[in-house]
Amino acid sequence: MKNVYFIGIGGIGMSALARYYKFKGYDVAGYDRTPSELTAALEKEGISVHYEDRPDLVPLDKDQTLVVYTPAIPQDLKELRKVMDEGYLVLKRSRTLGEITRSQRCMAVAGTHGKTTTSTLTAHIFTQSGEGCSAFLGGISRNYGTNLLMSRNETVVVEADEFDRSFLQLNPEIAVITAVDPDHLDIYGDYAHVVEAFKAFASQVTGTVIAKKGTPISEADTKARVLTYHYTDPEADFYAENPRPDELGCFHYNLHYPGGVLENVRVGAPGWVNAENSVAAAAIALTYGLEGSTVKSAIGSFEGVKRRLEVHVNSPRLSYIDDYAHHPAELASAISSMRDIFPSRKLTAIFQPHLYTRTRDFAPEFARALSQVDKLILLDIYPAREEPIPGVTSEMIFKEVTAPEKVLLKKEALMDYLADEPLDVLVTFGAGNIDRFIEPITQLLKSRL
């Protein structure tokens, strides 16, 4: 193969693969529906990206072209139809990642939430320890400014995505499972099938499964050794003893693990959620065989992941955080972490629901989580790959929210609304295009300081 062509190149997982093949010397190009920071970065790195459905821009030499696509792309896209009909080698993103990692020592992080931060921290620990690793990440590491790390050794860290059962293309040596919650019910149908998929993933692990205590994963589901981790439960194999925040909201704790105790671990990224994820990342690294002292040091220098409790403005009278949370459990955890970081301050949240099906399936749970803020600004649903569902709107969530203040807005009206809004701590939540507001909100709030 000489060319690798990506249909849906702007996705976080797809862009990491595009960077990988560019690094390996292939001619890389692709299509995406809309420009973004990710596609701008790819273009800056010499990868050609276009934004119209143009079959004529697919490389002509089909015998020397690999086409990689994401299942989020509509099946009637002309470019996808062309490569399918004309005999190109066409692989899903998940299959491609599976092929790349198959001959390597794969460290995988799966779970319905927490996997991006945990896998990014795991890769950081391996990198800082000197062991090194390649890594395909589901977010942009703030330490390295990328979602792809490359190394000459045979260790690779990957985020194992349950969407479309993608993680079943992987055969990890060590895998963490952070959570098994109902999600992607448009794919799975019901929670029982979600659990079934995670059990199937566990069965494909060749060495050790490290499951969060309380998840429905047991020794009966895999031939691998099964260990457990938990934030504070001393019955788990890995847990944090006496976690406590410092004045910056960063947590300190003693890490108990089968080999002993790492005392006074400090997590470089704020919030108890990051502390919990650090226990999971440390569990992978220590199980692999890395030294405890290097694991502790790397956790302390971890800066987090873009759009995961990412601080953009922080002062005693005005702060702004952005977070990718788009599932009720993620929202609840992030809001709880924000309360730790900013005690006794008024918390205003802007939330953009992601997908009609997720809104339909979890409206009461979303309302319950969002009721924990002082004021909610709720935007319209971001459809992503979906067509509208009659009767499914943000109003389903809004009407059940019991926060002291709440308002329903079109996203086009957001900046005008914020211009006159008194704010203390502001957080934006969502996996859609709410990230387009980060820079204008940041500039607006900085102008008030």
pLDDT digits (tens, 9 = 90+) for 44-97: 999 999 999 999 999 999 999 999 999 888 899 999 999 999 999 999 999 999
Mean pLDDT of 332-339: 94
CATH code of the domain occupying 310-446: 3.90.190.20
Tell me the average pLDDT of the chain. 95
Distance CA 171, CA 161 (A): 13
Whether the CB-CB separation of 427 and 345 falls below 8 Å is answered with: no
Q: At what angle do helices 328-341 and 272-288 cross, to 10 degrees?
A: 110
- pLDDT confidence tier of residue 319, bands split at 50, 70 and 90: very high
Place of tokens 């319209």: 380
Contact 425, 319 (CB under 8 A): yes
Residue of 369, 429, 426 lying closest to 400 (CA atoms): 369
DSSP 8-state code for residue 31? E
Residue 217's alpha-carbon distances to 14, 158, 165, 333, in angstroms, are: 29, 20, 17, 22
Predicted confidence band of residue 164 (pLDDT cuts 50, 70, 90): confident
3-class secondary structure, 54: coil
Q: What is the mean predicted confidence (pLDDT) over 11-30?
A: 96
- C-beta of residue 193 within 8 angstroms of C-beta of residue 212: no
Name which of 398, 416, 419, 420 is nearest 407 in CA terms. 398
Mean pLDDT of 306-317: 90
Are 310 and 375 in contact, with CB atoms under 8 Å apart?
Answer: no
Give the model's confidence band at 106: pLDDT under 50 very low, under 70 low, under 90 confident, else very high: very high
Q: Which residues pair with 269 in a beta bridge?
A: none
**At CA 244, angle to CA 238 and CA 247, rounded to 5?**
140
**Angle, nearest 10°, between helix axes 12-23 and 93-101?**
50
Q: What is the mean pLDDT of residues 277-300?
A: 98
The contacts of residue 24 (CB under 8 Å, 6+ apart) are none
Domain-wise residue ranges, the chain: 3-93, 102-300, 310-446
Q: Residue 405 — pLDDT band, cuts 50, 70, 90?
A: very high
Over residues 424-435, mean pLDDT: 96
Calculate what percentage of the chain has a pLDDT beyond 90: 91
At the second CATH level, the architecture of 3-93 is 3-Layer(aba) Sandwich (3.40)
Q: Is 438 exposed, middle or buried (0-12, 13-18, 19+ CB in 10 A)?
A: middle
DSSP state of 380: P
User: What does the buried/exposed string (b/e) look like for 411-425 if buried means 16 or more CB atoms within 10 Å of the residue's CB?
Assistant: beebeeebeeeebbb
pTM of the model: 0.88
Task: Identify the pLDDT of residue 385.
Answer: 79
Specify the pLDDT at position 72.
Answer: 83
As a whole number, mean pLDDT of residues 33-52 equals: 95
Reported as a single tens digit per residue, the pLDDT across 124-154 is 999 999 999 999 999 999 999 999 999 989 9
Range 273-291 average pLDDT: 97
Q: DSSP labels for 148-211?
A: EE--SSSEEEEEE--GGGGGGG---SEEEE----S--HHHHSSHHHHHHHHHHHHHT-SSEEEE
For range 165-194, the mean pLDDT: 94
Mean pLDDT of 237-254: 94
Could you confirm whether domain 102-300 is CATH 3.40.1190.10? yes
